[in-house]
Structure 1
Amino acid sequence: MTTREDHLVELVDENGAAVGTATVSEAHLPPGRLHRAFSVFLIADDGRVLLQQRSAVKTRFPLRWANTCCGHPTPGEPVTEAAARRLVEEIGVGNVTLAEVGVHAYYAEDPATGRVEYEYDHVLVGRLPADRDTPLPDPDEVADLRWVSPADLRIGLQVEPRAYAPWLAGVTDRLLAHLDRPAEHSGG
């Protein structure tokens, strides 16, 4: 049986250019291999963001709070397509338009599992209007969900950083920079 750990990821250089492939498992064994990933934030009409608590069976940072959804595109797969697929698989939400708002490259070691994250992480944002279906997360992927304001997320990351996945602070910075940008208005 093939598991998600057997899937291929795209190895990249420090500028995000593809340089090869490895399995998910190989890329996350110490010392880690830099590879392409994505982190998605879904935003409600009221501005709150959806966080997930990673399931207890995750091989990296189990039971830590993270952004709505994370994953890896297969080699050559567009990041937005991979992220849309994972939103359905992990969170049970489909048909969301995603936009990339930045990249966060990071390295983190998980003391609980001995695995590492060494990722070139594309940060994506999508809107989840109130009239949409309620998320139905896969319990093998997600232990819990909660909606938080960006301000409360920032405070939580400062007060209790070990309750959160180590990449969440960096991807939240990209989200907040995006939200702080003035809206572009067309003349007319």
Structure 2
Amino acid sequence: MTEPLTDASTDREAMTVELVDDHGVAIGACSVAEAHRPPGVLHRAFSVLLFDRRGDVLVQQRAAVKTRFPLQWANTCCGHPTPGQPVTEAAAIRLREEFGMAAELTEVGAFRYRAGDESTGRVEHEYDHVLIGTVGDETPRPDPAEVAHWSWLTPDTLRAELTEHPDKYTPWLAEVLEIAVRAQPPRP
């Protein structure tokens, strides 16, 4: 008898995340699911934003099966390192899983936020490390279980969209964009 396939989102909910204090110092661990139950537990996360050679950024519309902020537009990819795992290592793995891409990633900042998702009842309370990378002409190969749609946008276009249609975007994207753009070297 063939075993049924497991639901990837359920498996991800059982993974362990690293709990942190307000300064990002590790203080414990719990499951992804537990960390995102209201009111949310502060834990380590990362957000990747890729740039192309023109300076455009790769954004994604999160898949409908996502347990937090489904079908909203977000940065290239995001996730959680396991306790003790280097953030850049976890981010590189997640980038391959979600987009089938590789890039040299550099951490350029971190911030804390808390946001409730009315559609799922879950809460994001994260100490979010922002990483950037640059890719050439590589075409994204997104996993449809993770990414509904994707697009390259100029940072200015994305800023305007965030202002005009904030409900279409995840609550962390504006801060990720600003940290990433400030760190990105000027284009020739």
Q: TM-score, normalised by structure 1?
A: 0.92
Identity of aligned residues (%): 58
Aligned partner (choices 48, 51, 54) of residue 56 of structure 2: 48
> What residue is the counterpart of 2:92 in the other structure?
84
> What residue is the counterpart of 2:117 in the other structure?
110
Residue 182 of structure 1: how far off its partner (Å): 6.5
Structure 1: how far apart are the matches of 2:15 and 2:134? 29
Structure 2: how far apart are the matches of 1:121 and 1:108? 12
Residue 178 of structure 1: how far off its partner (Å): 1.4
> What residue is the counterpart of 1:168 in the other structure?
173
Aligned partner (choices 65, 80, 89) of residue 72 of structure 1: 80
Instruction: Please tell me the residue identity of whatever aligns with 1:113.
Output: T
Aligned partner (choices 38, 49, 72) of residue 30 of structure 1: 38
Unaligned runs of 5+ in 1: 184-188
Please give the per-residue CA displacement for 1:34-90, whole angstroms capped at 9, x wherever unaligned: 000000011000110000100000000000000000000000000000000000101
Unaligned runs of 5+ in 2: 1-5
Structure 2: how far apart are the matches of 1:13 and 1:91? 31
1:140 correspondence with 2:140:
no
CA RMSD of aligned residues (A): 1.3
Correspondences of 1:93-104 after superposition (within 5 Å) = 93-94=101-102, 96-104=103-111
Count of paired positions? 179
Structure 2: how far apart are the matches of 1:28 and 1:170? 20
> What residue is the counterpart of 2:22 in the other structure?
14
The secondary structure found in structure 2 opposite 1:177 is helix
> What residue is the counterpart of 2:183 in the other structure?
178
Instruction: Please tell me the residue identity of whatever aligns with 2:13.
Output: E
Aligned partner (choices 126, 145, 154) of residue 149 of structure 1: 154
> What residue is the counterpart of 1:186 in the other structure?
none
Please give the per-residue CA displacement for 1:122-167, whole angstroms capped at 9, x wherever unaligned: 000001112x3x1111111100000000010111111111100000
Residue 172 of structure 1: how far off its partner (Å): 1.1
Instruction: Please tell me the residue identity of whatever aligns with 2:67.
Output: T
> What residue is the counterpart of 1:120 in the other structure?
127
Residue 176 of structure 1: how far off its partner (Å): 2.1
Contact 1:9 1:22 in 2 (8 A): yes
Structure 2: how far apart are the matches of 1:43 and 1:59? 27
Structure 2: how far apart are the matches of 1:103 and 1:174? 8
Structure 2: how far apart are the matches of 1:159 and 1:103? 25
Contact 1:104 1:174 in 2 (8 A): no
